[in-house]
Amino acid sequence: MHVGMVWWFYLILLVQIKAQNLVKNAELESTSSWDCWGIHCEVTNDHASGQHAVKVTGRQQEYEGPSQFINVQPNSHYSVTGIVKILNDYPGELGQKIGIGVEFTYTDGRKDYLGAASLPLINSHSGFVHLKGDFVSPSKPLKATRIYYNGPKPSINFIVDATTVNHIPTNTNWRTQSDHTINTLRKSNINFHINVDGGIDPSQVQIEIKQTKKSFAFGTAVACDEYMYGHQQYKDFLNKHFNWVTTEGALKWPSMEGTQGNIKYDLPVNTIKELRKHGIKVRAHNIIWSVPTFIQSWVKALSGSALRQAVSQRITGVMSKVKGLVEHWDVNNEDLHSQWYQNRLSDANYNVEVFQQAHKTDPSVKLFLNDYNVVAQGEFTQAYLKQALHVKGSNSGLYGIGVQGHFSDEMRPDPTAIKARLDVLAQANLPIWITELDVMAADENTRADYYETALRSLYGHPAVEGIVFWGFWSPRHWRGVKGAILNAGFTVNAAGRRVLDLLENQWMTHETRKITKIGTNYFTVKGFHGDYQVKVMYQGRELTDQRKSFNLGKSDQNINIHVHK
C-alpha cells in the first residue's frame, strides 16, 4: 500500500479512536484484550498504524480470528473499521473475503451472527486494506457481544491492525427529513388558470384533480408460472397494484438451461409479453449468477475458452430473445459474495467483460449490478461502492446499482443506517434501485411498521429511482407468511393495507378545489409525478368537453381551463 494512503487510514482511525471507541487495545500494539481462541497470535513489526500489529496463524476454520467482547446497547447503530493484510494465497482463487463479524449472545443463551465490514478478492498483493462498515444491534436483551476477524480460508494467515467500534447516534428527525425529500423530489407544481364565464355560478364549480398512474417505479417479483397459469387473483392483484416487475426465477440461467442446449424461452418471454399488455415494465433477472450453489453442474464442468463461449452464448441468446421487451438486466448476480466465474477463469476482470458483452448485445437496455448486505445490512456497502466505481470506470454500460434489501428476521429497519448506507452508494453517482425488498415479522402489524419504515426511508432518499418488492403473496413468497402483504386466501393483511395506503393514497395526488369567482381563478396543486386527469364539475355533473389529461414530470405543468356551458 502507498505510504500516503496508510497515513490517511491512520489519521481517520485516530479520529475514530478518540470518539469513544468501544475496542480496547484498539491499535493492537500487543495482544492484550484480544482473544485468540484456537489460533496463534503474535506481535509483528509489519504494521499500518502505531508501531506494531498482530499476526494471526494456525487457523482451522474460516470464522476464526482475533476477537474481543464489547459493550453495546440493544437496537443501536455502530460503525466498524479495521486494517488487515493477507499474507498468503489459496491455490486456484484470486483472493479471499476478509472482514469483521459480530456475535450476539442473548440472555436466553441463543446466538446470532452478522457481518459488519467485509471486502472480497483480497490477496497477498493487496497490502494493508481498510475495512469499513456498520451494524445495528438486535432489540432483544443481550448477554454479550463479540467482534471477531474472519473470512479467509483456514490456511490463510493475516495481520490485524487498528480497529474501531463507535456508536452512531439515532437521527430522531429522519421522518421529517424523509417527508421533505419526498415532497420536494417526488412532486412538482400544477399551476391552474381557471377562467369562468359570466353565465356560470362559480359556487357550483369544482375542479377534480386525480392522479391515474404513478411515474415512480413500485414493483414486485413475479412468479411467471403463477402469473400465466396459476390463480387469477394473483395476476389481478399484481396488475392492479404494481407498475414494474422483476422476473423472479424464470429468466435465470439454471431455470432456462438446466441441460446444456435445451433452452426454455416460452414461459419467461410469454409472461413478459403479457405483462407489457397491462402497461407493466420489466426488470430481467439475471444473466449469470456468481454463487456456486446456483450454477448448473454442466457449467461447473467447463473451463477456459469453453466456459467463456458458454457464457457468451448465454448473453447473446437470452438478451436477443427479450430485446425491446425489458427495461433492465441484472448482469452478474451477487458477485460481491462469490466470484466463481472469475476464479474459474483466473481473471479478476471477467465481471467487466460480461458487462461489456451485454452492453454490446443490447446497447439500449439498462444494465445493473445486484447484491445484498449493502443497505439492509452494512457489511459490504463500501465494497459495493468500490465495485460500482470499477465497473462504471470500464465504460461497460453500467446504468445503476441494484440493492436487494432483504431485512433480517424480526429486525426493524433502521432509518439512520439505511440513509448512511445509501449515502455511501450514492457516491458512485449512479441511480439506485431497491430490487428485492422484504422484511420479516410474524405479527402482521409489526410487519406493517417494518415495511412503512423501510419504504419511507428508501423513497425519501434522492438517489433511489425505483423500489421492487420481492414478492407479495404468502404461498409464493420466499419468506412465506412473515414477509407477505397478501395472505394465502388473497386477503390483504395489515402489512398490505399499510403498504397500499402509502403507494396508492399518501403517495398519490387526489384533490378537489372550489372556484370562488367569475373570471380568472388561480391556484397551485403540488402533485406526485405521473399521469393525471382533471374534471370540471358543475352542479354535480361533469362538463366532459372540458376534461384535461396530462403527465406531470420534474417540470411544473400549467393547466388552462375555460369553464363554460
* Whether 385 and 514 share a structural domain: no
* Whether 452 and 526 share a structural domain: no
241-264 residue pLDDT tens: 999 999 999 999 999 999 999 999
Per-residue pLDDT for 114 more than 50? yes
Q: At 2, is the pLDDT very low, low, confident or very high (cuts 50, 70, 90)? A: very low
* Residue 334 a catalytic site member: yes
Residue corresponding to grid cell 487498528: 162
What is the extent of the structural domain holding 314?
217-506
Task: Report how far residue 191's alpha carbon sits from residue 562's, in angstroms, rounded to the nearest whole number.
Answer: 14
In a domain, 173, yes or no: no
**C-alpha torsion angle, residues 484, 487, 488, 491 (rounded to 10):** -150
In a domain, 193, yes or no: yes
Alpha helices in 149-296 (DSSP H): 174-185, 224-229, 232-241, 253-256, 266-277
Instruction: Tell me what pLDDT residue 361 has.
Output: 98
Supply angle C-alpha 371, 164, 389, rounded to 5.
35
* Whether 230 and 296 share a structural domain: yes
- Here the CATH number for the domain that contains residue 558 is 2.60.40.10
3-state helix, strand, coil in the chain (%, to 5): 30, 35, 35
Per-residue pLDDT for 144 more than 60? yes
Task: Report how far residue 131's alpha carbon sits from residue 379's, in angstroms, rounded to the nearest whole number.
Answer: 9
In a domain, 399, yes or no: yes
What does the block give as the cell for 3?
A: 505510504
Instruction: Tell me what pLDDT residue 1 has.
Output: 43
Q: At 565, is the pLDDT very low, low, confident or very high (cuts 50, 70, 90)? A: confident
Instruction: Tell me what pLDDT residue 311 has.
Output: 99
Average pLDDT over residues 537-561: 97
Residue of 334, 353, 379, 444 marked catalytic: 334
* Residue 436 a catalytic site member: yes
- Here the CATH number for the domain that contains residue 320 is 3.20.20.80
* Whether 518 and 401 share a structural domain: no
50-89 residue pLDDT tens: 999 999 999 999 999 999 999 999 999 999 999 999 999 9
Indicate the number of domains in the chain.
3
Per-residue pLDDT for 240 more than 80? yes
- Sign of dihedral through CA atoms 491, 496, 501, 507? negative
Q: What is the mean pLDDT of the chain?
A: 96
* Whether 163 and 237 share a structural domain: no
355-389 residue pLDDT tens: 999 999 999 999 999 999 999 999 999 999 999 99
* Whether 259 and 344 share a structural domain: yes
194-232 residue pLDDT tens: 999 999 999 999 999 999 999 999 999 999 999 999 999
Residue closest to 500 by CA, chosen among 457, 465, 455:
455
* Whether 437 and 532 share a structural domain: no
Average pLDDT over residues 557-562: 97
